[in-house]
Structure 1
Amino acid sequence: MFEAFHERSRGESAASPGYPGEGQSATERFDLQRAVGAARVVFSGAATGTEIRDLYRRFPMAVAFPSVDDRGRKEAVLINTSGGVAGGDEIRIEVVAQGNASVTVTTQAAEKVYRALDRPARILTRLRAEGSARLAWLPQETIVFNRARIARQTEIEVSSGTELIALEWLVLGRIESGEELLGGHIQDSWRIRVDGHLVWADGFLASDQMFPQLRKTALLSNWRAIATMIYFGPRPESRLERLREIGASLECACGVTIVGAIIVVRVAAIASADLRRGLRRFLDQLDYELGSGPFGVPKMWSC
């Protein structure tokens, strides 16, 4: 099943125009080792709590399941054993929550995107929640180094009766380490479908000639750490005001809006440590607001 998913994704990736090196034969490209990793986990609700129904891993991706206090909830930790991604690498992740499963998925550490010679690294994440499942996708930050190239796509499918939070955050040079992005390529896109219908599409694109302009007030200004968080669940209109109150209490810049059936949260900070503190505070309060479940700060964030 996952092999079919993997091969289909390869076909879609190859059809995407606009990246140096695509459309060339293998002999025309740099003869460098590329990582092609994958991870797929399917969870399902059972009388004893949330169970793992299917698990697939392809090097360099691994999956760990730390113990949590709540038997009804599972926490999965994705591990990139190569220590980061570089140009031409491909990582594919799929998480499915079925029935009344309650699942938190995070990463072992920040994902690092290193300088690329030509092609971008590609990261495709597919999340699906079915039935009355509750799914939280809460990876740690993605750190983009100077001249790195990355194309990341997050695809989400939810249905009426499910509840989901999905987070992705980018660090565009760590100010604490004196890092500066002078060039590269970052493409970060979202596609969300509810009951099979596309309800939200979003994208962030910065390429070589754009990086010197990012510090302008009309663009990112001094913000070097930016996050997008999506909430889908019951009574979104009534959740909206509470999430705006939480956002206003943060020491980061935060905006909250509703788009149809989903709530979109944007958070930005000058330093990655400030953004992490803001997101932790947001998730702590959100977990209290939503009640017992998978939406609090993952244990791995404190390791």
Structure 2
Amino acid sequence: MVFSGAANGTQISDIYQKFPMAVAFPNIDDRRCKEVVLINTSGGVAGGDEMKIEVVARGDASVAVTTQAAEKVYRALDRPARILTRLRAEGSARLAWLPQETIVFNQARIARQTELDVSSGAELVALEWLVLGRIESGEEILGGHIQDSWRIRIDGRLVWADGFLASDQTFPQLRKTALLSNWRAIATMVYFGPRLESRLERLREIGASLECACGVTIVGAIIVIRVAAIASADLRRGLRRFLDQLDHELGSGPFGVPKMWSC
């Protein structure tokens, strides 16, 4: 999907979709930003599936991209599912990648990669969150494979690389205090934009007000936010509160809680 700024708001320049992925553009108030909803019509992700998503925002475009529902990754026999997300914000574009949670079931296998390319004049928020079995349903992750990686480039230069890996050998160790402890739901959010130093302090204040665990720091030219909770519902509440206040901090734009999160 490619979006560009225009006199009457954000316009769709190009779009391509292929089963099982579909794209919807719900009507949301009379704002100048575009909200995009991705729909996986197959109902989940299984071993061997491949999903590729690319979003480009150009000029003065203001775009928020979310998903219709939580993505579910089911048990796989051998091959992992692969999900590649590429986001690019050019010029003075404002882009928010705010999908709902990814729920990983026992013995699921997934390799997810998120790649961000940002121009120095753009503003971007990107979120990914994992639920390692829903504690509310008594689910337990005893094995499988989760590989979750980030790569962020600003003006073509790599500024941050990050990865999370859990496999059959490491799942029994994840509850150690030095690793995930009791956290079953974890999120990573990154922010790039103007006035990083002053916004760092404000985002730390927001993080400290949450009922779940939160840490905020600057890494190179971006702000990285980590949020963790025991239950997915607690993490959702924490992220909603964070995004509500982030939207107020950044002004009118695509960085608030997507409407689809309330459906």
8 Å Cα contact 1:50-1:71 kept in structure 2: no
Cα deviation, residue 260, structure 1 = 1.3
Give the unaligned 5+ runs of structure 2: none
1:189-204 matched pairs, under 5 angstroms: 189-204=149-164
SS in 1 for 2:169: helix
Tell me the distance in 2 between the aligned counterparts of 1:73 and 1:195. Answer: 24
State percent identity of aligned pairs: 89
Is 1:187 aligned to 2:147, yes or no?
yes
Cα deviation, residue 70, structure 1 = 3.5
Match of 1:117 among 77, 91, 115: 77
Cα deviation, residue 71, structure 1 = 3.6
Cα deviation, residue 111, structure 1 = 0.2
1:278-297 matched pairs, under 5 angstroms: 278-297=238-257
SS in 1 for 2:237: helix
Listed one character per residue, the Cα deviations across residues 123-155 of structure 1 (whole Å, up to 9, x for unaligned) are 000000001000000000000000000000000
- Kindly provide the amino acid, as one letter, of the partner of residue 221 in structure 1: S
Match of 1:228 among 177, 188, 197: 188
Alignment length (residue pairs): 263
Cα deviation, residue 72, structure 1 = 1.2
Select the structure of larger CA radius of gyration: 1
Match of 2:172?
A: 212
Q: CA RMSD in A?
A: 0.5
Listed one character per residue, the Cα deviations across residues 216-252 of structure 1 (whole Å, up to 9, x for unaligned) are 1111000000000000000111110000000000000
TM-score (norm 1): 0.86
Which has more helix, going by share of residues?
1
Tell me the distance in 2 between the aligned counterparts of 1:299 and 1:43. Answer: 20
Listed one character per residue, the Cα deviations across residues 78-100 of structure 1 (whole Å, up to 9, x for unaligned) are 00000000000000000000000
Match of 1:268 among 219, 228, 231: 228
Tell me the distance in 1 between the aligned counterparts of 2:99 and 2:64. Answer: 10
SS in 2 for 1:208: coil
Match of 1:143 among 90, 97, 103: 103
Tell me the distance in 2 between the aligned counterparts of 1:153 and 1:67. Answer: 30
Match of 1:98 among 58, 66, 77: 58
Match of 2:92?
A: 132
Tell me the distance in 2 between the aligned counterparts of 1:193 and 1:104. Answer: 20
Tell me the distance in 2 between the aligned counterparts of 1:58 and 1:156. Answer: 22
Match of 1:31?
A: none
Cα deviation, residue 165, structure 1 = 0.1
1:37-76 matched pairs, under 5 angstroms: 41-76=1-36
Tell me the distance in 2 between the aligned counterparts of 1:189 and 1:176. Answer: 27
Give the unaligned 5+ runs of structure 1: 1-40
TM-score (norm 2): 0.99
